[in-house]
Structure 1
Amino acid sequence: MLRERSVLLQRLLLVADLALVALAWILAWVLRFEVLTPPEWVSLEQYIGYLPFVLAIWGGVLLVSGLYRTHRAQRLPLVVFAVGRAVALGLVASFGASFFYREFSFSRLHVALFAGIASVLLVGLRLSIYVVLRRGRQQGRNVRRVLIVGAGKAGQRLARAFHHYPWMGFEVLGFLDDRDEVPAEPSRIYPEPVVPPNVLGRVDDIERVLDRYQGGVDLVYAALPLAAAPKIEAVADACARHTAHLALVPDLLGLDLLNSRISDVDGLPVIHLLDEAPLDVRQLAKRVWDIGFSVAALVLLSPLLAVIAIAVKLSSPGPILYKQTRMSLNGQTFEILKFRSMPVNAEAGTGAVWSTKGESRATPVGSFLRRTSLDELPQFWNVLRGDMSVVGPRPERPSLIEGFRHEIPGYMLRHKTKAGITGWAQVHGWRGDTSLTKRIEYDLWYISNWSLWLDLKIIVMTVFKGFVHENAH
């Protein structure tokens, strides 16, 4: 029910946003050419002729901007920031598309006015909706009362979500739980003060509670572990004798979940506990970004690549590039490319080992390339081939992974996304001969919180502190 309502609201909000974008485009023309400096040669028809392209571009940008995610709380700074980011993306995309529209040049003042008006209208719409819905909830209109069976992590997180999204219209009456003392579970997602849950009784008391709130309990959420199947059946039987709807929220938060989601196979619900990110518009956008960024990097850096290639060739006998087998998405292996930094057959006697600070295997040129991470630049070709992404967990050698996967909990979960040239762990210093546990922690956080904006942030951080680092050797 929560998901269906959320999706419906998101779609309606997108339609309303596009209508406001169109209004902002026209109002900006009026202000620019009718109020401020009205030249005779500019007509409204010319700008309206470009409006369908504006709406098409902004429709796509708004969808991938993250503006419609339900975790966007109604705090004004977050709303303003989310709208501002979406407007900035829309302007960048619009400017890019304008190169293909050569009938006339658009007024820069008009574009600036359009950005300002669109921002005000989009923020104003959200605040207006929030005020109207909140006032309606306070007056008791269209409120659905919820009883949660199970006051564990899943149940308390569910209650926080209902409290955090008041516009959905869900009021939690309380919990049922069989424990004598129920501790309050803190949350990293909703950082409010920890409040003990309001426990109305034990699970066996559900019949009494439903009778007590006769006609007043609209939804019952069974947030119980899968091992509590008999209790879930008892809750279902009780709800069947009343008018309350029943929803199952399996308490799986004790497991290391990654990209968990629900799908169906021929009508059968399937819960994905560990999965790669599903293919959607954002994944396609990431691939397009990877290709564009890699082509630009290879072209702009070609003089530097040529100088490094000559230096490597002159430093010691052997090939310029070094190929090594690494593991990426879903355990697939590929040949990673690097500028050769060691003499040929440097690992003949030791086998695959990690580089350590102060080691002497690298050539003088290779040592410099490693300290500055310039030996990694040929991997933009791996990105073009689809082996890697620009941003993602750094790939490792299968021979080393065989030991790591038994020693480090959750190590193999980092292969639920493509490996990258740079990553969240690397820009925070977890690279080279450092803690694997911390590196995996940062990698899994990146996979769980991935967005195009996070990728851009990591790239910017890489430029300023990711190339030269004390742990790069």
Structure 2
Amino acid sequence: MLKLKRYREVIFTSILDFLIILASWFVFHSFYPNTMNILMQDFNLDFISGGLLVSLYWMVIFVVMGSYKKLYLVSRLDEFIKVLKASLLGSLILFFIINVNERISISDQRVIIIAYWATIFMLLALNRFVVRTVQRYYAQQGKGLHRTIIVGTGQTAKVAYDDLNRNKTLGMQVLGFIQVNGKAPDPDSGIEQEEVIGRLNDIESIIQDRQVQDILVALEPDRRQDLVEVISKVDSPDVSLKLLPDFYQLVSGLSKTNQIFGMPLVEISPEPMPLWEKTIKRAFDILVSAVVLVLTFPFLVMIGLAVRLSSPGPAIYRQERVGRNGRLFTIYKYRTMLNDAERHSGPTWATKDDPRVTGLGYWLRKLRIDEVPQLLNVLKGDMSLVGPRPERPHFVEQFSQQIPLYTRRLRVRPGITGWAQVKWKYDTSLDDVKEKTKFDLFYIENASLRMDAKILINTVITILKGKGQ
């Protein structure tokens, strides 16, 4: 139910877009019937199937371009720019598609594609403008607002509360305040005790019970040390987390703020990688994994046989790991340790010159060959080529309690290699994990195809130099 409320703007807008694109196909066909019939004959389509296929094509373009991301009370100018970018890209691709037809002159093709782009752009831009205007009107009437809680009980929180109540176009209906330090509200803040609906430790149940959609962190300037604890507690991908920056943060330029009708807000851990990059990343994962597994299959079988012959036990080691959003999956690796190495000790860290590592396992680790079977995990979608390394549930539970923001690593797919792997040494202690977590969080906040390429290149160099452990 909470997810449905969160995405209702996306669902409503996408349905309207689809209907408008479909209608524009019918309208455009009436102006250029001969040309459109020639194109449909070339692709073995009829009038109806052609319209549906083109409409679906446009929906894919708009999704990949991020046109359905964060539509709630978005700026109408931002909507205009989104539609402009997506329609230009989609029309450019269509131009190259119809360019293969030699029965239509180049000049006619240009006229057709420009006219079609103008039709699509104007109708969709008008649709978005009307929808956002109506949405803003209802927000001014106090309807359709996001259910919001404010973290903090000081004067800053009270000011934020008053601003949200005074200006409904901010889109937030405040349900109450959350205590951070367990103390009663500041008497000078004007917040009454009955307006406090819980403490920070109870925030997960409060979010669930009250169907919270937005969380606004409004701490006092002298309570900045509580910010890490707040972010650690509020780690739900289905809830938008925003920070009300103080004057120092604004003028220092340390925080990138978004203006929501004049109210400066910092969104905590937004998605840095746009959908088109995510799509390319996933396609690249599948392509590379499939090609490597197919081309090296005989070699991989020989390694498996060598593992079996070198020491008793299976060739492939299976272990439960924690993946994206806390989902458990089974990871595959070539066995590099003695069979049942943790039977008596339980889950433990590997150490340098670990006596449990076999002779063959030492070289498999050194050359990172033991990780190759994880390409099967990549194909299945449990992992990616690049991302934070997946950890066992035992350690995830332990680290989550000891390392601030550790669980934010679970917001992305784990990877075979990652920024922490190329920048830090192998884990041998809790301090090592803390340092690697810093690198993982940096990657999550700055993820891009360019950064993935840099990590993969560094990994290849590490393998060639034999610096694995």
- TM-score (norm: length of structure 1): 0.50
Query: Which structure has more helix as a fraction of its residues?
Result: 2
- TM-score (norm: length of structure 2): 0.50
